[in-house]
RNA sequence: GCGCCCGUAGCUCAACGGAUAGAGCAGCCGGUUUCUACCCGGCUGGUUGGGGGUUCGAGUCCCUCCGGGCGCACCA
C-alpha cells in the first residue's frame, strides 16, 4: 500500500462516517487529499494523519472523537495492522508487514519510472535560467542557476510536465559593443574603454580572434570593433554551450535577443499590449501602464529617441513564450534583479494573462565563496572571478551540482571551497553516491554467488526488522517528495530526501546481513533483503537522476 | 524614504501550520571474526534575533521593533 493509497483509504473512512451519520459534516468539507506523513518517531507507527484535528471544529466535536470514528473504520481496511489515537487526535497507522513489504516489489517493477507522477501531465512549462551575456565565462552565480534550473526542469518532468530549458542570449545592446571594443583594444595592445571588460580572458580571446582571422586588424573604424564583437560573441557562446554541456545541463532552446527583434516578435508583442489597452504615450516615449498591476512605476517601452528599451525585449520575450504554447513561464533571476518581479508579473497581467498562473519569477540569493577563511570576491569586470569551469575542475560535476542544489535558493549560500575541495565525506553527495555503490556491490556479489533473486519468489512479509520497515517507508516516499519538490520548485527537497534514504540504507546494512555467510544456506530472508536492496538502489538512482547527478556502481 | 529576501546549535544549513526543532562539520566516547569503514551507535551543544497576535497547535501565518543582504533609470 502506497502512502497515496492510504490517504485515499482514510478519506474513504471519513466519508463513510459522514454518510452513516456519525460525523456532522458535508462531504465537501473533507479535503481532496488527506495529509499523510511519516512520523519522526517510529513509535508512532508507519504513517500518521492529522485529519481528525482538522475536521473536529467543523464537526462540532473534539478531535479524539473524530479520530475514534475514523480509526474504527480504518481497522477493517485490508493491509492496515493497527490504528492508534495519540496526542491531541493524531491517527497513527501501522501497516502489516506484507503490505509494507510490497513497496519493494512495486519499486523494482517500476524501475526507472518509479517516482514519476502525473501531477503536471499536459502542462507545458518553460524554465529560463542563466541567460548571460555572451561576453565572458559563466561565473559562480550562473553555475547555481545551471544546476538548480536544470534540476527544476528535471523534477517537473518527473512530475509529468513537459519542461523546456531555455537560455536567453543577451546579444544586443551596449554591453555587446563594450565587449567588442574591449577585444579590439586588447588585440591592439591598448586598454579597454571606460566600463569595458577588464578580465584577463579578454586578452586571450582577442588573440584567438586575431589568430583565426588576421585580416580583422586591417579593418578600420567601427567595422573593426564590430567584427571583434561578432567573432568574440561566437566564441563565447560556443564556450558557454560546451561548458554547460559538460556540466550536464542541456538547453532545449538558445534564444537570441537579436532574433526576437529580427523575427518581428517585438512588434507582435507591442501590438498585443496595445490591443489590451495598457500602453500610453508621454514625454515623447511609449509606456506600459504596469502600475495597473502592482508595479510601483510605469515602464518605458520605446524611448523618446526612438530606441526600444530592454524592458521592451523582456515583454516581447514573455509574449513569445506564451505564443509558443507554454502554460507556465518560470524565470530564475538573481537577487539583484528582484525589482523585476513585479514588472514581469505586470507584463503578464497587461497581456491578459493570470500572473499567478502563467508566470513565475524565482529569485535566488547570491552565492558567496570562502577560501582560507576569507571571502572570495567575484567580479566579472575585474576579471578576478570563479568560473563554472573552475568549480568543476576543483570538485567535479557531481559534487558541484549537488552542493548547489541541496540548498533552497532564497537564502544566500556560503560555500567553503576548502571543504568542497577536500573530497571528504563532509560533502553529502559522496554519502548518497556511496550508498548507491554499496548496494550495487551487494547485488554484484549476489550474482556471483549465483543468486537470481529476481526469479525467486520473495516473501516480503519477512521484512520486519526496525531498520527494514524504516527503509521501506523511506523508499515509499519518493513520489510524494517529487510532488512537493515540483510544486514548490524546490529540488533541494530531493537531495535532502536522498540523504535520509542513504542514511536509512546504511543503518539497515549495518544491522541486517543481506547475503548468506560463506558457510550458510540461502534463506528466504536473503531473497527478501535483496529485493529491498534493489528497491533502495533504484530509488537512489532515480532521485539522483532528477538532480543530474550520476549514480555510480563503484566508488 | 519605499520595496524584496534573510535571521534556527560554535560553523554550514534542514524542517508541505503538527507530536520531544533536526543533519553534517567541529569536540568527546564506542562499534564490524565475513556483503564497500566514504559506514553505524552514543554524548555534548537551542529562549528558532526581541515583543505582541491568529489557533487545537507557530521556526513556519499577521503586526511591530532590531540586525544583515539586495534593489528602487527614457542603463543593459
C1’ B71 / CA A340, Å: 9
pLDDT of residue A463: 95
Q: Provide the pLDDT for residue A423.
A: 56
Confidence of residue A375 (pLDDT cuts 50, 70, 90): low
Closest CA to A472 of A108, A5, A14: A108
Q: Say how far apart CA A183 and CA A165 lie, in whole Å.
A: 31
Q: Which residue is nearest to nucleotide B38 (CA to C1')?
A: A425
The predicted pLDDT at position A30 comes to 87
pLDDT in tens, A466-487: 999 999 999 999 999 999 999 9
CA of A311 to C1' of B6 (A): 28
What's the pLDDT score for residue A377? 59
Residue A386 — very low, low, confident or very high, per pLDDT cuts 50/70/90? confident
Question: Which nucleotide lies at the shortest CA–C1' distance from A305?
Answer: B74
Q: Where residue A43 falls among pLDDT bands split at 50, 70, 90?
A: confident
Q: Which nucleotide is nearest to A85 (CA to C1')?
A: B19
Q: What's the rounded mean pLDDT across residues A234-261? A: 95
Domain A424-546 coded CATH 3.50.50.60: no
Position A379 confidence tier, pLDDT thresholds 50, 70, 90 = very low
pLDDT in tens, A54-71: 898 888 888 899 999 999
For the ranges A281-295, A417-431, A433-447, A511-525, which has the lowest average pLDDT? A417-431
- Rounded distance between C-alpha atoms, residue A395 and residue A141, angstroms: 16
Distance A252 CA to B15 C1' (A): 35
Identify, with chain letter, the residue nearest to nucleotide B21 (CA–C1'): A40
pLDDT tens digits, one per residue of A516-546: 998 889 999 999 999 999 999 999 999 999 9
Query: How many Å does it take to go from CA A498 to C1' B48?
Result: 25
Find the residue closest to B36 using CA and C1' atoms: A438
Q: How far is the CA of A218 from the C1' of B74 (A)?
A: 37
pLDDT, position A372: 65
Q: Which residues pair with A332 in a beta bridge?
A: A362
Nearest nucleotide (C1') to alpha carbon of A434 = B38
HEC profile for A500-547? HHHHHHHHHHHHCCCCCCCCCCCCHHHHHHHHHHHHHHHHHHHHHHHH
Mean pLDDT of A335-354: 91
> Torsion angle, CA of A268/A269/A274/A280, rounded to 10 degrees?
-130
The gap between A504 CA and B40 C1' (Å) is: 11
Residue A442 has pLDDT above 60, yes or no: yes
Q: Per CA to C1' distance, which residue is closest to B4?
A: A338
Q: Which residue is nearest to nucleotide B16 (CA to C1')?
A: A484
Q: Which nucleotide is nearest to A50 (CA to C1')?
A: B18
The confidence score (pLDDT) of residue A32 equals 84
Q: Once rounded to an integer, what is the mean pLDDT over residues A493-512?
A: 94
* Strand B bases contacted by the protein (CB, 7 Å): 2-7, 12-16, 18-20, 22-26, 31, 34-41, 55-57, 69-76
Residue at shortest CA–C1' distance from B20:
A41
pLDDT reading at A180 higher than 60: yes
Nearest alpha carbon to residue A29 among A8, A58, A60: A58
Please tell me the predicted confidence (pLDDT) of residue A382. 43
User: Can you give the distance from the CA of residue A178 to the C1' of nucleotide B73 in angstroms?
Assistant: 20
The predicted model gives A185-191 an average pLDDT of: 95
This complex has an ipTM of: 0.94
Per CATH, which fold does A3-95 belong to? Gyrase A; domain 2 (3.30.1360)
- In this predicted structure, the answer to whether residue A171 has a pLDDT above a threshold of 90 is yes
Please, which pLDDT band fits residue A339 given cuts at 50, 70 and 90? confident
Q: Chain-centre distance of CA A382, in angstroms?
A: 31
Instruction: Give CA–CA dist A156/A129, Å, rounded.
Output: 15
Average confidence (pLDDT) over A244-273: 94
- pLDDT score at A383: 56
Confidence of residue A359 (pLDDT cuts 50, 70, 90): very high
Q: Specify which of A49-63, A226-240, A397-411 reaches the highest per-range mean pLDDT.
A: A226-240
CA–C1' A11–B59 (A): 30
Domain boundaries, chain A: 3-95, 424-546
**Of the given ranges (A116-120, A343-347, A410-414, A450-454), which has the lowest mean pLDDT?**
A410-414
Q: Which residue has the higher pLDDT, A229 or A418?
A: A229
Asked if pLDDT for residue A124 goes beyond 70, the answer is: yes
Q: How far is the CA of A481 from the C1' of B16 (A)?
A: 10
pTM of the model: 0.95
Which residue's CA lies closest to nucleotide B24 at its C1' atom?
Answer: A426
Model pLDDT, residue A393: 82
Amino acid at each position: 500500500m502506497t502512502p497515496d493509497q492510504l490517504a485515499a483509504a482514510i478519506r474513504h473512512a471519513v466519508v463513510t462516517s459522514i454518510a452513516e451519520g456519525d460525523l456532522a459534516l458535508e462531504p465537501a468539507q473533507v479535503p481532496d487529499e488527506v495529509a499523510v506523513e511519516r512520523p519522526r518517531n517510529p513509535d508512532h507507527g508507519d504513517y500518521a494523519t492529522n485529519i481528525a484535528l482538522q475536521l473536529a471544529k467543523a464537526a462540532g466535536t473534539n478531535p479524539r472523537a473524530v479520530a475514534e470514528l475514523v480509526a474504527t473504520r480504518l481497522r477493517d481496511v485490508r493491509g492496515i495492522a493497527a490504528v492508534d489515537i495519540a496526542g491531541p487526535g493524531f491517527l497513527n497507522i501501522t501497516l502489516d508487514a506484507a503490505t509494507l513489504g510490497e513497496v519493494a516489489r512495486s519499486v523494482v517493477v517500476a524501475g526507472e519510472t518509479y517516482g514519476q507522477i502525473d501531477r503536471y501531465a499536459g502542462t507545458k512549462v518553460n524554465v529560463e535560467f542563466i541567460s548571460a551575456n555572451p561576453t565572458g565565462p559563466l561565473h559562480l552565480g550562473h553555475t547555481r542557476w545551471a544546476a538548480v534550473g536544470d534540476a527544476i526542469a528535471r523534477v517537473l518532468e518527473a512530475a509529468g510536465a513537459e519542461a523546456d530549458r531555455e537560455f536567453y542570449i543577451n546579444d544586443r545592446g551596449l554591453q555587446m559593443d563594450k565587449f567588442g571594443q574591449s577585444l579590439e583594444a586588447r588585440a591592439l595592445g591598448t586598454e579597454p574603454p571606460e566600463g569595458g571588460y577588464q578580465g584577463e580572458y579578454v586578452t586571450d580571446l582577442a588573440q584567438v580572434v586575431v589568430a583565426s582571422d588576421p585580416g580583422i586588424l586591417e579593418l578600420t573604424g567601427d567595422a573593426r570593433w564590430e567584427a571583434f564583437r561578432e567573432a568574440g560573441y561566437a566564441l563565447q557562446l560556443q564556450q558557454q554551450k560546451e561548458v554547460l554541456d559538460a556540466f550536464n545541463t542541456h538547453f532545449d532552446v538558445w534564444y537570441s535577443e537579436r532574433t526576437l527583434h529580427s523575427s518581428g516578435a517585438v512588434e507582435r508583442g507591442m501590438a498585443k499590449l496595445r490591443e489590451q489597452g495598457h500602453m500610453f504615450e508621454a514625454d515623447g516615449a511609449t509606456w506600459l501602464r504596469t502600475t495597473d498591476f502592482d508595479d510601483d512605476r510605469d515602464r518605458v517601452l520605446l524611448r523618446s529617441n526612438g530606441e526600444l528599451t530592454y524592458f521592451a525585449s523582456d515583454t516581447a520575450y514573455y509574449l513569445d513564450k506564451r505564443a509558443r504554447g507554454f502554460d507556465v513561464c518560470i524565470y530564475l533571476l538573481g537577487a539583484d534583479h528582484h525589482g523585476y518581479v513585479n514588472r514581469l508579473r505586470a507584463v503578464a497581467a497587461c497581456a491578459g494573462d493570470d500572473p499567478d498562473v502563467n508566470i513565475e519569477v524565482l529569485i535566488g540569493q547570491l552565492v558567496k565563496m570562502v577560501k582560507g577563511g576569507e571571502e572570495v570576491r567575484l567580479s566579472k569586470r575585474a576579471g578576478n572571478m570563479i568560473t563554472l569551469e573552475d568549480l568543476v575542475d576543483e570538485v567535479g560535476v557531481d559534487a558541484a551540482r549537488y552542493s548547489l542544489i541541496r540548498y533552497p535558493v532564497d537564502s544566500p549560500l556560503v560555500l567553503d571551497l576548502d571543504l568542497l575541495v577536500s573530497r571528504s565525506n563532509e560533502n553529502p553527495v559522496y554519502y548518497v553516491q556511496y550508498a548507491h555503490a554499496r548496494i550495487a556491490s551487494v547485488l554484484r556479489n549476489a550474482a556471483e554467488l549465483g543468486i537470481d533473486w529476481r526469479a525467486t519468489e520473495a516473501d516480503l512479509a519477512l521484512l520486519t526488522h526496525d531498520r527494514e520497515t524504516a527503509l521501506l517507508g523511506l523508499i515509499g516516499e519518493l513520489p510524494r517528495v517529487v510532488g512537493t519538490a515540483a510544486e514548490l520548485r524546490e529540488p533541494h527537497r530531493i537531495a535532502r530526501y536522498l540523504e535520509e534514504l542513504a542514511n536509512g540504507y546504511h543503518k539497515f546494512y549495518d544491522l541486517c546481513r543481506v547475503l548468506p555467510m560463506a558457510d550458510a544456506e540461502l534463506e528466504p530472508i536473503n531473497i527478501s533483503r535483496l529485493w529491498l536492496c534493489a528497491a533502495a538502489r533504484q530509488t537512489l538512482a532515480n532521485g539522483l537522476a532528477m538532480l543530474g547527478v550520476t549514480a555510480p556502481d563503484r566508488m
